[in-house]
């Protein structure tokens, strides 16, 4: 029974410590050039418990009514052992799934641009990448995917679902979503695209005669650390009076990039982060920075800030003493190791947890902001989908959604309970007149498209971003 009992086993283990929320499109690994080889030899005496597995294997392969692929039996046994852990982050990947996973570590890829994870047996969106097709289509953190292109995916594992979601640039995927606050699933169509490599964006915001540097990190790819330092250097040449680091909607990435960024901002008195194993105790990682920057720093977070983003936010908050502003982060505090089993299949096993500089474990809890700020309704409206035009005296969930959109854009609908009242009709007519549409008071497809376009435009305006505005006000009181 060579599949289960091997007298001489040489397993190359690539210790890629994954800190992402199951790394659908990106993941985080400690020092990507760190590779350790473990050789396991002389496994002549397997534990007695394996005799039961061997008996089951022999019974099925020889006695089952139909022919059975031995490889599938072995894979099923491995998957079964991992399933008993009750840990969605510990998974077996056959050769095909392993290839897909390794593609997700690339700095660019084709897809919808969203990080996904499995939570309580459900596949959810951790966060859409900023400016990605997923974000533009209206996907939000904690959206549950229940169907892909009309096929029910309940009960399927993360890799089965993501393989259906991924696809070539220019193709469309239809996702049926369950979202908190909505009683019925909604369908969102996303046009796949090439997700850009660029992950760092910067600018200077003039505020009360102060120059505030503003750096957005959309994910932590291989070049993110270097790009951040380059952009920071450019901002510092402009004599900035403060710095905002925005990791909202950032689902994670490579820890080596986080380490490089934090190492330039966090003094060496405290660790930037800590790693804890079951038997190995805690290992601390320190910067070499002698003193803090001469200007104040603030960090923007939300519930889409996960994994690597949380490590950076925690380092700046606890070791740097810089405030976090926005919402509580996602809460991913475990570490996985990817193990090559020698036949191009892998096991990704949770083996560590990461801790904040003060030794806090944020798993399942997230990082609470120092200044809690919720975005306006504009940022929480759902895509408007209509099977037929909406008009006066109708009463349903899509009317309610339209009312919320109108209100968020400054057109008072009178009510937001789903009943299409005369006041709602008046608000629709006003919107239509101001955007060169026939003022019928009926919401048709053209009106829907215009409403969604105006929502997207409003979201991009800095003055509507309460969290960013709070960060800018914070610097007014810093000297």
Q: Please enumerate in sequence order all residues whose Cβ is within 8 A of that of 109, keeping only pairs 6 or more positions apart, or say none.
A: 25, 103, 194, 195
Q: Which of 332, 348, 400, 407 is catalytic?
A: 332
Q: Are the C-beta atoms of residues 90 and 176 closer than 8 Å to each other?
A: no
Q: How far apart are CA 112 and CA 170, in angstroms?
A: 10
Longest distance between any two alpha carbons in the chain, whole Å = 82
| Structure-token match 């220019």, residue found | 170
Count of C-beta atoms within a 10 Å radius of residue 24 = 27
Using only C-alpha atoms, the chain has a radius of gyration, in whole angstroms, of 25
Q: Which residues of 83-93 are buried (b: 16+ CB within 10 A; e: fewer)?
A: eeeeebbbbbb
Catalytic residue among 117, 156, 307, 432: 307
| Contacts of 454 by beta carbon, 8 Å cutoff, 6+ apart | 409, 435
Give the Cα separation of 466 and 457 in Å (integer).
Answer: 16
Q: Which of 21, 257, 336, 398 is catalytic?
A: 336
Residue in 444, 442, 460 with CA at minimum distance from that of residue 378:
460
Residues with Cβ within 8 Å of 387's Cβ and at least 6 positions away in sequence, in order, are: none
Nearest alpha-carbon partner for 358 in 441, 274, 297: 274
**375 catalytic per annotation:** no
Our answer to whether residue 307 is catalytic in this structure is yes
What Å distances lie between residue 293 and 213, 244, 263, 265, 322, CA to CA?
A: 13, 13, 12, 7, 11
332 in active site: yes
CA separation for the pair 474, 452 (Å, rounded): 32
Catalytic residues: 307, 332, 336
């Amino acid at each position: 029974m060579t599949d289960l009992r091997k007298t001489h086993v040489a397993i190359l283990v690539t210790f890629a410590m994954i800190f992402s929320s199951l790394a659908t499109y990106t993941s985080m690994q400690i020092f990507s050039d760190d590779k350790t080889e473990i050789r396991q030899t002389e496994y002549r005496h397997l534990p007695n418990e394996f005799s039961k597995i061997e008996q089951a294997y022999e019974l099925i392969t020889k006695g089952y009514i139909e022919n059975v692929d031995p490889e599938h039996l072995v894979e099923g046994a491995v998957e079964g052992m991992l399933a008993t852990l009750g840990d969605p982050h510990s998974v077996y990947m056959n050769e095909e799934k392993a290839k897909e996973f390794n593609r997700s570590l690339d700095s660019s890829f084709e897809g919808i641009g969203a990080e996904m994870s499995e939570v309580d047996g459900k596949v959810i969106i951790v966060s859409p990448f900023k400016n990605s097709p997923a974000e533009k289509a209206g996907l939000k953190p904690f959206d549950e995917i229940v169907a892909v292109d009309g096929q029910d995916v309940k009960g399927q594992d993360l890799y089965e679902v993501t393989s259906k979601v991924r696809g070539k640039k220019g193709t469309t995927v239809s996702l049926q979503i369950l979202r908190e606050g909505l009683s019925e699933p909604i369908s969102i169509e996303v046009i796949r695209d090439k997700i850009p490599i660029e992950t760092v964006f910067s600018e200077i915001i003039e505020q009360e005669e102060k120059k505030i540097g503003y750096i957005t990190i959309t994910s932590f790819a291989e070049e993110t650390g270097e790009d951040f330092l380059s952009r920071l250097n450019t901002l510092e040449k402009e004599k900035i009076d403060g710095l905002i680091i925005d990791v909202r909607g950032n689902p994670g990435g490579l820890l080596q990039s986080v380490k490089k960024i934090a190492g330039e901002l966090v003094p060496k008195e405290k660790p930037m982060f800590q790693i804890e194993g079951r038997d190995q105790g805690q290992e601390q990682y320190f910067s070499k920075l002698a003193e803090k920057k001469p200007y104040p720093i603030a960090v923007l977070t939300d519930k889409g800030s996960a994994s690597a983003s949380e490590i950076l936010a925690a380092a700046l908050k606890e070791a740097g003493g810089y405030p976090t502003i926005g919402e509580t982060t996602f809460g991913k505090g475990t570490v996985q190791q990817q193990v090559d089993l020698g036949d191009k299949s892998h096991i990704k096993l949770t083996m560590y947890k990461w801790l904040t500089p003060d030794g806090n474990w944020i798993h399942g809890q997230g990082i609470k902001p120092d200044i809690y700020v919720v975005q306006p309704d504009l940022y929480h409206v759902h895509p408007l989908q209509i099977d037929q035009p909406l008009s006066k005296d109708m009463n349903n969930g899509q009317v309610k959604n339209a009312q919320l959109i109108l209100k968020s854009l400054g057109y008072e609908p009178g009510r937001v309970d789903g009943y299409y009242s005369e006041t709602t009709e008046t608000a629709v007519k006003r919107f239509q007149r101001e955007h060169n549409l026939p003022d019928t008071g009926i919401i048709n497809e053209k009106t829907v498209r215009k409403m969604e376009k105006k929502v997207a435009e409003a979201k991009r305006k800095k003055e509507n971003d309460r969290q960013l505005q709070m960060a800018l006000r914070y610097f007014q009181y810093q000297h």
